[in-house]
Structure 1
Amino acid sequence: MPSDAPPSPSSTEVNALADRLAQDMRRRWNAGDRVATEDFVAAHPALRDHPGAIGELIYEEVSLRREHGEPGGSSEVLRRFPQWATQLRVMLELRDALEADGPPAFPEPGERLGEFRLLAELGRGSRGRVYLARQPALADRPVVVKVSSRADAEHLSLARLQHTHIVPLYAAQDDPARGLRVLCMPYFGGTTLAHVLAKLAPIPPADRTVAGVWAAILAEPPSAIPVTAPPMPSRWSAMDYTGLIAHFGACLADALQFAHDRGLIHMDVKPSNILLTADGQPMLLDFHLARPLVRGGEPAPARLGGTAAYGAPEQRAALVAVRSGQRISVAVDCRADAHALGVVLYEALAGRFPSPGVPAFRYNPRVSVGLSDIVARCLAPDPAARYPDAAALADDLRRHLAALPLRGVRNRSLA
């Protein structure tokens, strides 16, 4: 191992960390754990050098205190962080003004929404809410209900995608009175890869185990659906942690290739959009940003999205072009999804976001040179230097797992 210390995390990495921690804070509050901003800062000292990231957590805590009717609300948090008081008051006043204009009328757990009885909130974002629910008309089966604006067209993407590693769509319904679209999907468990990586964060990547991943998956089921803990999948017993992550990557690359073959780019591959089911299968979630490829030289599309920490350079450039009304300079195609999956793999293997030119094995000596090179090719800044499609990426990941010569990168271990 090199003796020099790893470089400090970049602003992009810390902002992405703050986003994940804000989601974790919301999940824990909804589960009854009133965790505070200071708890996250103590566990992640890198946040101290990035006031904006701390501000995001403070704002999330203020919002949660309001939503849960905690005594003191925003005033209590503002007292603990006087240096942020002015900025936070402005942010909260702006949010109040926006909500006064009529936000979507999202339901609360315990309500009925059409034919569904909502049990618990599984997650939320700027565009919608996700609930665990029961469907009394069909043997009271547990389902996942995603509620968003009727302008959202995710159902049109999901309707075309029936694949083992893509969460399917059961039905789509509209609630005109509330201006909402309701998507019903099967309930496969409530754990995402983001949840698992958050649980594993205190463990050095080289010390992580397959059993630890399984324990993290079992730790997340919502209490509204009693479950009996299943045994760890037998196929996992032959893998170590790095092999399991490579296996997940191959399955997800298969799913991406399936979507790409049908003309859809996911555009937002990240750990929180990867479900890990109760039987250990990785599945892609959240196709609300999915779209056909964006061609270079064309006018900027009206709608384009993504998450900066996982987005390929050409996707980030396209987002800038959309905001400025300029033409797209470089195509955004299937290779952008491969880049995002590469970031996910690097993060899971190395315990941190990619550092330019630093292979994953630098941070985790259990990662082989071959696996590092596969991930590095996904992360190439030039799309032409990446895998030509997700199928080629899946093939190399499986060849790595089978100890076969790799096709997409040089076999340095054999040289």
Structure 2
Amino acid sequence: MPPSEHSMLVNQPLRQRYESSWTSGSPLALSECLPEEGSGQYLPTLEELVHIQLEFAWKAYAAGTGTRPASVGSLLDEFPALRNPETLLQLLRQEFHCRTRAGDAPSAEDYRRDFPDLELDRLTVAPGDTIGPTATDDTATIPPPPADAATIPPPASDQATILPPSTGSNPSEDQTLQPSVSFGETATSPEIQLEGYEILGELGRGGMGVVYRALDVRLKRVVALKMILAGVHADPGDLKRFQLEAEAVAQLQHPNIVQIHDVGEHEGKPYFSLEFVEGGELASQIAGEPQPPDEAARLVETLSRAMQFAHQRNIIHRDLKPANVLLTADGQPKITDFGLAKRLEDDSGQTASGSIMGTPSYMAPEQAGGHQAQIRPQTDVYALGALLYCLLTGRPPFQSANVMDTVLQVLEQEPVPPRQLVTGLDKNLETITLKCLQKDPARRYQAAEEVADELKRYLNDEPILARPVGIAERTWRWCRRKPAIAGLCAAITLLLGFVTVNGYLQAEIQRDLTGQALTQKAKANENFDLARGAVDRFMTEVSESQLLTVPHMEPLRRKLLTGAME
């Protein structure tokens, strides 16, 4: 099933209900949050719920606050639909990854024995295997989603980056999957000799290049050495991005941005050396767990001021995420990997309008929509908000089983408010985070410096400038994103309103008519009583008249009295 269809078929209210039950500490049973079996929503929703269960259950088990989670295999009898090979494979990879993070030491051989009919060669790769990685991170490259796409990329992790399509390629055909980047220094030194450097080990490798840990023998310092392996055979687009990255970093002499030391070429392979940051990635520190709020705010304030420095030099990063923030030994953050950086004055652009680039879980809606001309400093402001969200909650604002589902969430959904995921979180910090994550760039902070100043006010216990989004505004935004559904709801509301008002008016008219009839009846009765009284008086007077006492008038008198009595 294409990812766009998968996302559309997931029953979002049931998904959110199930996720909220886990965040509140009282998880519901899977069966309580499923649509009708046999419906088109059943399997996509079930798969999403199992992904949520695996993530939360294994985190609780690792923290010692939960029992050992049920295995995916144990769910197959109760939910036979999960035996779908594609669905089962993704869930097993998710389970393997969650168990590994929890320190459970799963065995790939056990999985192969239990599921002999599945192709499990990629079982040990974390969910979200990547497409077209760069040399410095586990990145992914896919073109914008074609309308009739039939080939679907596999699930992507929240750190997977989408790169622009290769130069000269047909975007609708460029969906080749490549291995994810492997991090960590290799045990043996690579076979490469580079004048002036002693290669100490390999830090990361991707589809375009490789990053080495090396000793600069002239200055006696350890550096990170980035090199394009294809050399003269490299794609022109890759070479241009490599050059632009080197130029961008060279302009940014800032204590919280990784510095460039040297640029050169070895046997036709371009390279540059960067400051080596020994503390590792911020992503490794977060490891899916919420960080202390004040520390998170302080760190993002620092990163925001570094990005303001870059923006003042007309450079947009476009791929800010925990994996692209390195930490020094004393915990100071440094932004790295400007491989997708854009110069504001460069209208030609690296990528044609319509191409998507960035990391789905952290990219702004204008990136997710492929609107390259709309990329501005506010795009990085969004990413800063997504990074702050991840620090506060342990997860990015949007994540799904695959790349395109995540992209669709970025475009169509609002993030779950952090305070619903982390009890006791300061409301002002949530307000700052959600203002950064506004869909409309004009409604975000307009500069990274504004984010930094707002976080500074929060840390100093001063009033912040941003205000929470009210119910009316949230409703209006929903209507703008879903005009067809909003129009239908409005029509139904108007119809109900018309029926209600019309019923009220008809009731009022009926009450008026009933009142008039009662008034007329009372008037008639009153007139009858008056008339009868007049007749009674007349007959009495006549009967007592002396004229009727005259002899021979007795019969007439009796007749008149008898008529009066009737």
TM superposition score category, shorter chain reference: 0.5 to 0.7
Task: Please name the residue that 1:400 is paired with.
Answer: 458
Q: Which runs of 5+ in 2 are unaligned?
A: 1-16, 24-32, 34-44, 56-67, 76-81, 98-107, 124-130, 133-175, 178-185, 232-238, 399-413, 471-566
Letter in 2 for 1:118: I
Q: Does 1:170 align with 2:261?
A: yes
1:70-118 Cα deviation digits (max 9, x unpaired): xxxx9998666534329969xxxx99xx99xxxxxxx973444412222
Structure 2 residue matching 1:143: 3-state secondary structure? strand
Q: Residues of 1 paired with 2:70 and 2:256: CA distance?
A: 33
Give matches, 1:203-214, under 5 Å.
205=290
Task: Please name the residue that 1:184 is paired with.
Answer: 273
Letter in 1 for 2:431: D
**Residues 43 and 392 (structure 1 numbering): CA distance in 2 closer, same or farther, change over 3 Å?**
farther
Q: Residues of 2 paired with 1:58 and 1:124: CA distance?
A: 25
Task: Please name the residue that 1:104 is paired with.
Answer: none
Q: Does 1:264 align with 2:315?
A: yes
Give matches, 1:3-14, under 5 Å.
5-6=21-22
**Residues 83 and 253 (structure 1 numbering): CA distance in 2 closer, same or farther, change over 3 Å?**
farther
Q: Residues of 2 paired with 1:44 and 1:315: CA distance?
A: 38
**Residues 371 and 290 (structure 1 numbering): CA distance in 2 closer, same or farther, change over 3 Å?**
same
Task: Please name the residue that 2:384 is paired with.
Answer: 341
Q: Which runs of 5+ in 1 are unaligned?
A: 19-41, 61-73, 100-106, 209-240, 319-327
Q: Does 1:377 align with 2:393?
A: no
| Contact 2:226/2:272 (<8 A) preserved | yes
Q: Residues of 2 paired with 1:266 and 1:344: CA distance?
A: 14
Letter in 2 for 1:185: L
Give matches, 1:35-184, under 5 Å.
51=88, 53=90, 81-85=115-119, 109-114=189-194, 115-139=196-220, 141-148=221-228, 151=239, 152-153=242-243, 154-177=245-268, 180-184=269-273
Structure 2 residue corresponding to 1:252, chosen from 287, 297, 303? 303
Letter in 2 for 1:397: L
Q: Does 1:351 align with 2:415?
A: no
1:165-209 Cα deviation digits (max 9, x unpaired): 1001001111234xx2222112221411111112xx3x5x3xx5x
TM superposition shift of 1:144: 1.3
Task: Please name the residue that 2:555 is paired with.
Answer: none
TM superposition shift of 1:308: 0.9
**Residues 349 and 159 (structure 1 numbering): CA distance in 2 closer, same or farther, change over 3 Å?**
same
Q: Residues of 1 paired with 2:366 and 2:383: CA distance?
A: 12
1:276-305 Cα deviation digits (max 9, x unpaired): 11121111010011013498xx99359762
Letter in 2 for 1:286: D
TM superposition shift of 1:398: 1.0
Structure 2 residue matching 1:314: 3-state secondary structure? helix
Report the TM-score when normalising by structure 1.
Answer: 0.63
1:136-157 Cα deviation digits (max 9, x unpaired): 2223x21111223551221111
Q: Residues of 2 paired with 1:248 and 1:193: CA distance?
A: 10
Task: Please name the residue that 1:310 is paired with.
Answer: 362
**Residues 187 and 376 (structure 1 numbering): CA distance in 2 closer, same or farther, change over 3 Å?**
same
Q: Residues of 1 paired with 2:433 and 2:70: CA distance?
A: 26
Letter in 2 for 1:159: A
Q: Residues of 1 paired with 2:226 and 2:298: CA distance?
A: 28
Task: Please name the residue that 2:285 is paired with.
Answer: 196
TM superposition shift of 1:275: 0.4
Letter in 2 for 1:131: Y
Letter in 2 for 1:281: Q
**Residues 174 and 188 (structure 1 numbering): CA distance in 2 closer, same or farther, change over 3 Å?**
same
1:312-332 Cα deviation digits (max 9, x unpaired): 1110111xxxxxxxxx48612
Q: Residues of 1 paired with 2:218 and 2:70: CA distance?
A: 46
Q: Residues of 2 paired with 1:75 and 1:348: CA distance?
A: 35
Q: More deviation in 75-84 or 163-172?
A: 75-84
| Contact 1:122/1:190 (<8 A) preserved | no
Q: Residues of 1 paired with 2:199 and 2:378: CA distance?
A: 38
Q: Residues of 2 paired with 1:86 and 1:165: CA distance?
A: 41
Q: Residues of 2 paired with 1:109 and 1:171: CA distance?
A: 21
Structure 2 residue matching 1:194: 3-state secondary structure? helix
Give matches, 1:214-363, under 5 Å.
241-293=292-344, 300-301=352-353, 305-318=357-370, 328=371, 331-354=374-397, 356-363=414-421
**Residues 163 and 365 (structure 1 numbering): CA distance in 2 closer, same or farther, change over 3 Å?**
same
Which structure is larger by alpha-carbon Rg, 1 or 2?
2
Q: More deviation in 343-352 or 117-126?
A: 117-126
Q: Residues of 1 paired with 2:120 and 2:374: CA distance?
A: 42
Aligned residues: 312
Structure 2 residue matching 1:84: 3-state secondary structure? coil
TM superposition shift of 1:333: 1.3
Letter in 1 for 2:216: Q
Q: Residues of 1 paired with 2:384 and 2:71: CA distance?
A: 27
**Residues 362 and 59 (structure 1 numbering): CA distance in 2 closer, same or farther, change over 3 Å?**
closer
Structure 1 residue matching 2:316: 3-state secondary structure? coil
TM superposition shift of 1:385: 1.0
- Sequence identity (%): 31
| Contact 2:72/2:91 (<8 A) preserved | no
Report the TM-score when normalising by structure 2.
Answer: 0.47
**Residues 302 and 393 (structure 1 numbering): CA distance in 2 closer, same or farther, change over 3 Å?**
same
Task: Please name the residue that 2:136 is paired with.
Answer: none
Q: Residues of 1 paired with 2:381 and 2:274: CA distance?
A: 26
| Contact 1:111/1:117 (<8 A) preserved | no
| Contact 1:59/1:88 (<8 A) preserved | no
Letter in 1 for 2:21: A
**Residues 138 and 274 (structure 1 numbering): CA distance in 2 closer, same or farther, change over 3 Å?**
same
Q: Residues of 2 paired with 1:43 and 1:190: CA distance?
A: 33
